[in-house]
Structure 1
């Protein structure tokens, strides 16, 4: 199993750089990580197939909490923070990113859902 050596979140681009102990580095978007949350709520444990999470294009990571030496809990600005992203699960997401993303986009299309927020929200200073 690949171990995570370093995580670096870029707030402006909403990308999480994951550096593994074998020297590999992959960047995943906050949106991708949110819609593929390992939480029981999203994965559909005991309730059937995984839940389709839509309208998360603008989601950001607000905090990263280490859990032992094997996982992290990601806190998203939409309030979601359940589910532990084990290093093994992060490696799986990195290794299958393209396939997972395409499947997600196809599921959105079939459900007539979208990545953008369902209503436009604008905050002015």
Structure 2
């Protein structure tokens, strides 16, 4: 079994609300705090099994307040809405990096299908069918 890629550099850009991850081959990824929050690996977001996922809405303004190492295998991200229960393993972080485009579009599609919004101050109202 191969080891998951481990970032050689991690930098939180608070002003732009982006987490930058650099890997040994100089691959660089910038992930938004919102993306990380809506794809948190916590049970609160993922549920306790398939089909139990909870769509996260209104997270456009979310920030990361703190980052804590978890052993030598993961990070705990503390978000500005108080969410801190997701443990982001190195493997999961790399998946988030390499699948960002597809996963973000999937999230936007699920929001639209639910009639929900990224902005907590905007209510989406459907009229008719």
Identify whether the pair has TM-score above 0.5, normalized to the shorter chain: yes
In structure 2, the partner of 1:91 is 94
In structure 2, the partner of 1:75 is 78
Matched, 1:57 2:60: yes
Greater Rg over alpha carbons, structure: 2
Q: How many residue pairs end up in the alignment?
A: 119
Matched, 1:118 2:121: yes
CA deviation profile, 1:73-119 (whole Å, cap 9, x unmatched): 00001000001001100000111100000000000000000001137
Deviation at 1:47, TM superposition (A): 7.0
CA deviation profile, 1:36-94 (whole Å, cap 9, x unmatched): 00001101124733210000000000000011111000000100000100110000011
In structure 2, the partner of 1:5 is 8
Q: 1:2·1:22 contact (CA, 8 Å) conserved in 2?
A: no
State the alpha-carbon separation in 1 of the partners of residues 26 and 12 from structure 2: 18
State the alpha-carbon separation in 2 of the partners of residues 57 and 113 from structure 1: 12
Gaps of 5+ in 1: 120-125
Gaps of 5+ in 2: 123-129
Matched, 1:26 2:29: yes
RMSD (CA atoms): 1.3
